[in-house]
Amino acid sequence: MMNYESGMMKSSGTSAGVTTRWRVIDSIVEAEVLLRNAGVTDTSRLEAEVLLADTLAVSHAKLIASYTDYLGAEERAEYLSRIARRLRGEPVAYITGRKEFMGFTFRIDRRALIPRPETETLVEHVVEQVRSSERRTTYIVDIGAGSGCIAISLALLLPGATIHAVDISENAISLARLNAAEHRVSERVAFYIGDLCSCLPDALRGSIDVIVSNPPYVTDAEYPALESGVREFEPMVALKGGADGLDLFRRITAVAREYLKAGALLAVEIGENQADEALKILRRAEHFTEMRIIHDLAGRHRVITGRKTE
């Protein structure tokens, strides 16, 4: 890190006794080159800009409009420390502490998995299904809520929904609570720490309209091949799903039938090669009908759904 920092200082023309000023654009280009050379990302320019916009607490558009402005020494130091974290592989969302999901901004840190764009397929499907059901109140359980991005997006998009969000990680739930408070949906999202539905009130059995989940589904064999930023920084418990990645899905199908009403929806995110096996599991669990695999816009299998039989 020392080499790179002193490299940056040199290229900025610092000399004793002179007040150093760094142009925004020059700092971006230097960071871009460092990120590219380190091979941590394919989008080095974008990340260099996102991290500087975040450092300066301005929008991306504002940053671009101020390329020829100068950074203060503190801003420059803060930017360098963020770039240094990225060079060590830390994901951008953990550095900025924020991530967009479904058009909403969530607070993110190492307590939970970073929301992925592919999970929007799951949320969009549930929203569509609930809206077309014309029910005035909908009771939803989110298993493995993580940062709360699914549960909170559903609460924001479905004003008639009450959500019970569960996670086995106390850390994840503390972050999810913060996100719910920031989005002002705490009254409609209840949080529980525990394994699957074990901590939900008994009264919920047989009364849930939707169970939604993005469980850990990376297989034991795939896990070591994940990007190092994912492996080293994101919680393993949110990613690893056993030998075929479907351990949690098997357990979810088993409890789902106890909590869902007749006709209610189960919607679970799966890995792109898991559709056939997931369908078999759901079929074997009995009690489910209308089984479907939902694709994302690129045609990849993303979600399995089924409805509880009458």
Q: Which residues bind ligand GLN (CB under 6 A)?
A: 116, 118, 214, 216-218, 230, 239, 269
Q: How far apart are CA 278 and CA 288, in angstroms?
A: 12
Q: Residue 163 in contact with residue 151, Cβ under 8 Å? A: yes
Min CB(268)–ligand GLN separation in Å = 10
291, exposed or middle or buried, with CB in 10 Å at 0-12, 13-18, 19+? Answer: middle
Residue with Cβ nearer ligand GLN (48 or 165): 165
Q: How far is the CB of 68 from ligand GLN (least distance, A)?
A: 39
Which residues, 6 or more positions from 171, have their beta carbon under 8 angstroms from its beta carbon?
A: 111, 112, 235
In the bound complex, what is the minimum distance in angstroms from residue 234's beta carbon to ligand GLN? 8
Measure the CA dihedral 177/178/182/187, to 10°: 20
| Nearer CB in complex with ligand GLN: 12/242 | 242
**Which residue type does 179 have?**
N
Shortest spacing between CB 186 and ligand GLN, in angstroms:
25
Which residues is 139 bridged to in the sheet?
Answer: 162
272: exposed, middle or buried (Cβ count in 10 Å: 0-12, 13-18, 19+) = middle
Q: How far is the CB of 214 from ligand GLN (least distance, A)?
A: 5
Q: How is residue 17 annotated by DSSP?
A: T
Of the two residues 241 and 306, which places its CB atom closer to ligand GLN in the complex? 241
Question: At its nearest, how many Å lie between ligand GLN and the CB of residue 246?
Answer: 11
Kindly tell me which of 150 and 155 has the beta carbon lying closer to ligand GLN: 150
Q: 25 vs 230, which CB is nearer to ligand GLN?
A: 230
Output DSSP code: residue 41.
Answer: -
Q: Which is nearer to ligand GLN, 41 or 55 (CB)?
A: 41
Question: Least distance from C-beta 272 to ligand GLN, angstroms?
Answer: 9
Nearer of residues 55 and 214 to ligand GLN, judged by Cβ:
214
Please give the Cα distance from 26 to 221 (Å, whole number).
Answer: 43
What's CA 79's distance to the chain center, in Å? 24
Enumerate the H helices of the chain as residue ranges: 2-11, 24-38, 44-56, 60-65, 73-87, 92-96, 119-133, 149-157, 170-182, 228-233, 247-259, 275-284
Residue closer to ligand GLN (CB basis): 94 or 217: 217
The least distance separating ligand GLN from the CB of residue 245, rounded to whole angstroms, comes to 8
Q: Provide the residue type at 303 as one letter.
A: V
Token pair for residue 198?
A: 């074990």
